Amino acid sequence: MNGLNDGVAIVTGGGSGIGRATAARFATEGTSVVVADVDVEGGEETVSRIEADGGEATFVECDVTDGDEVAAAVETAVDSYGGLDFAFNNAGIEGESAPSSEQSLSNWNRVIEINLSGVFHGLREEIPAMLEDGGGAIVNTASIAGILGFPNLTPYVASKHGVVGLTKTAAIEFGAEDLRVNAVCPGVIETPMVERSQEENPESMEQTIAATPMDRLGQPEEIAGAVAWLCSDDASFVTGESLVVDGGFSVQ
Ligand code: NAD
């Protein structure tokens, strides 16, 4: 894809699901990838798969709730590969399900810390590294829960709406410096996160598929494709956008 060859990317939450597929897609395009995740086994497995396919990747253990660890992951990209061109701020958790009136404060804090503050830490560290080198492209993972309400997912919905706001704001701030910031809003994608919620509520997947015009769940590679496009030169005038990739779920 235009402009991704020879680049350097960081992918948070790269040890599983959407992050793993996107790290692999970057590598296929000729971009070197820093895979950052709290899950060491998952992150190392992503790197092994990329290397087995002839790509270039490094794993960094990183909890996105800790700004210093995110800074160290960005530093690894700069030190190992000479700069930073692309970032996919994607680490996230679903949290516990309960109506707003029954949500625990600990669940609220945990979800906001990972899904929203984690993206904030990413932006804070990635933007200066990219500006050093004349700009770049950042994609943050929001969700259709960043544009719609969903019952029983209060902190998740709030965190993802927050990601959309962070994205718009950074896009305004750095557009003139050739740094584009977009979000991707996946619908329901077949990953370990969704498998967990399916175990809890087996009927929910059938209901989701029935409510999706394309009549199926999405695949992680379909989000990776959208992220690759947003980072490519083909999206050179796209910034501040929240690109919905949901098989039509949110349009009805
Ligand atoms: P997943 O559970 O398969 O992967 C999430 C990854 O994030 C894991 O590797 C996990 O270890 C990592 N992670 C969790 N907490 C972390 C932390 N504190 N620091 C660093 N890494 C951490 O889930 P997924 O479905 O691939 O989700 C990826 C992103 O996509 C999340 O932000 C999620 O909210 C979002 N999303 C997913 C769906 C979906 O249907 N799967 C839909 C919309 C949005």
* pLDDT (mean) for 47-57: 98
Residue 13 Cβ inside 6 Å of ligand 1? The answer reads yes
Write down the ipTM of this complex.
0.99
- Name the band, by pLDDT with cuts 50, 70 and 90, for residue 235: very high
CA–chain centroid gap for 30, Å, is 19
Contact by Cβ (8 Å): 15, 45: yes
Longest Cα pair distance anywhere in the chain, in angstroms?
Answer: 51
> Could you say which of 156, 174, 229, 249 is catalytic?
156
Verify whether ligand 1 is closer than 6 Å to residue 146 (CB atom): no
Ligand 1 center–CA 218 separation, angstroms? 15
Q: pLDDT tier at 134 (50, 70, 90 boundaries)?
A: very high
In degrees rounded to 5, what are phi and psi of residue 136? Answer: 165, -165
Residues 117-135 have a mean pLDDT of 97
**At 119, phi and psi to the nearest 5?**
-70, -40
Average confidence (pLDDT) over 2-31: 97
C-alpha pair distances (Å), 37 with each of 4, 13, 15, 45: 22, 5, 6, 11
- Which CATH superfamily, name and number, covers 8-189+220-243? NAD(P)-binding Rossmann-like Domain (3.40.50.720)
Please provide the average confidence, as pLDDT, over all residues in the chain: 97
Distance from residue 231's CA to the centre of ligand 1 (Å): 20
Q: Would you say residue 247 has pLDDT above 90?
A: yes
Predicted confidence at residue 157, as pLDDT, reads 98
Beta strands 86-89 and 136-141: pairing type? Answer: parallel
Cβ contacts of 213 within 8 Å, gap of 6 or more: 247, 248, 249, 251, 252
Q: Whose CA is nearest to atom 18 of ligand 1?
A: 63
pLDDT for 1 equals 81
> How many angstroms separate the alpha carbon of residue 54 from the centre of ligand 1?
25
81 is catalytic: no
CB of 186 closer than 6 A to ligand 1?
yes
Determine the atom of ligand 1 nearest the C-alpha atom of 189. 40
